[in-house]
Structure 1
Amino acid sequence: MSTADAAAPTPTIVIDHSAQDPHAELWFAEPPGFLPLPLDALLPEPGSEAAHALRATVEPFLNSAPDELHRLQFIAHVAAGQQLLAALQETGTVHCSIGLHRDDVAVNAAPEPLLSFFTVSWRQIATTPRGVTAARAAASASEDAHIEYLELPCGPVTLTESTSVPSSSLPTPLRQIRAHIPHPDCKRLAVLTLGTTALARRAEYRAILHRIVESVSFERPLG
């Protein structure tokens, strides 16, 4: 994971069009290395203009496949990805990003790319004071979780961590770091999750989620 030093140039900040979205309910900034996935474009309604656009985008890849087997494999991979995103969306996920960073922390080894997956989800909760909701999130964390309670400009935040047990569907353990941020209306809970299989870099990924959470706002940042 790259760490900026004091002599490093000021990074370029790109303001996404969503900063002006009048219907958005939460804003945040992603550090470099994350690529947002356009959920609406990847999960279009059948027969819609978005569906035709997706088909037109995928068609060149299908045409470049060397044979029918590779075309079918590509279609299967796209379908599997759509199923995963649809499942996340059904559980309240409104944002997904894929993270790619270079592992430059390891010594005496060539840097390797590290993958991660970042999501933002909403959960409906009973009307409860924000501090109580944040505390409950810590109480429900697993026994191996690293727990932090923060008071930030966006309000009280609880950070928890857990590691999944290897299974047939996920043979590699997955470390998930979650930030639980109660909405000011006290009826919703925003959950920001950063998952990675690079367990040795949990501290670095924890720092990344810290940076994202510190930028969270429930008010449009540009006024």
Structure 2
Amino acid sequence: MIDESARDPSSKLWYALPAGFFGIPIDALAPEPGSEQETHLEQALALVLGLAPEDQRDRYTGALRDVRFMAAQMRSEGVIACSLGMHYADDGSSASSVFTVALRDIDWAPAKITAVRAVTVRESAENVELLTLPGGRPASISDTVITMPALEGMPSHDVYQCNLHVPAPSGTQLGVLTLSTTAVGSRKHYRELLAGIAYTVSFHDPLPEIERAARGDSANGAGGGADDIASDFG
């Protein structure tokens, strides 16, 4: 089953998410000032506020303002995609998570050095592991538990965060995929989930090869799909 997002011509990085995740349109929530998209967003927000109960309008306004601020903050940090996840924890309760994808420009270096350097510069990184992705590409994965300070109306709490670093074949970009959740007791599940996503990450559109393989004609043409992908990845 292929999601329609896989056919987005503006994609910069491809990956597969398991069931239970739905995308957040951060570009639509943080449009360029003065753009047509900003006008449409303002109209949509005005409609939402107009439907809100009068005694809750200030609360809605604050929540919408916070959402826009977070979307703008993510964009400023190079985040190109964000999804919310809802899954069952080991004890049967529901557990929510946030999945983000950032694409950052970096100085050129061999891919393996970049993968190691990316994870070692994180002061709180734990359980560091090097991965070998399809095509022999290196990646690194690590995790940590962060204690969030108490805020108004919200007590201090722990957040589990797992980070995956995948260097681009060009050597000048780094994909950073992060999975965060307050379900710290299910950290093993979430690390395995992100490690599984790692093997689907691609910096070039893999869909044509996947569709040819599904039709059973991947052997047609020189080299075949696997060879083409391997050569693209270097």
TM superposition score normalised by structure 1:
0.83
Partner of 1:24, secondary structure, is coil
Q: Is the 8 A contact 2:119 2:125 kept in 1?
A: no
Letter in 2 for 1:15: D
Residues in 2 aligned to 1:89 and 1:144: alpha-carbon distance in whole angstroms: 23
Identity of aligned residues (%): 33
For residues 18-97 of structure 1, the aligned pairs below 5 Å read 19-67=6-54, 69-97=55-83
Count matched residues. 204
2:3 equivalent to 1:15: yes
2:128 equivalent to 1:147: yes
Worse-matched range after superposition: 42-51 or 116-125: 42-51
Q: How far did 1:153 drift? A: 1.2
Partner of 1:72, secondary structure, is helix
Q: How far did 1:98 drift? A: 0.9
1:202 to 176, 183, 187: 187
| CA shift in 2, pair 1:147/1:61, >3 Å | same
**Over aligned residues, Cα RMSD in angstroms?**
2.0
User: Structure with the greater relative contact order (CA < 8 A, sep ≥ 6): 1 or 2?
Assistant: 1
- Which residue of 1 is the match for residue 232 of structure 2? none
Q: Is the 8 A contact 2:140 2:164 kept in 1?
A: yes
Bigger proportion of residues as helix: 2
| Structure 2, gaps ≥5 residues long | 209-234
Letter in 1 for 2:49: L
Q: How far did 1:41 drift? A: 1.5
Q: Is the 8 A contact 1:96 1:117 kept in 2?
A: yes
2:114 to 119, 130, 133: 133
Partner of 2:14, secondary structure, is coil
Residues in 1 aligned to 2:34 and 2:115: alpha-carbon distance in whole angstroms: 42
Q: Is the 8 A contact 2:168 2:174 kept in 1?
A: yes
Q: How far did 1:60 drift? A: 4.4
2:148 equivalent to 1:166: yes
- Which residue of 1 is the match for residue 172 of structure 2? 187
| Structure 1, gaps ≥5 residues long | 1-12
What CA deviation, in whole Å up to 9, does each residue of 1:110-130 have, x standing for no partner? x32211111011222221000
| CA shift in 2, pair 1:144/1:188, >3 Å | closer
Partner of 1:151, secondary structure, is strand
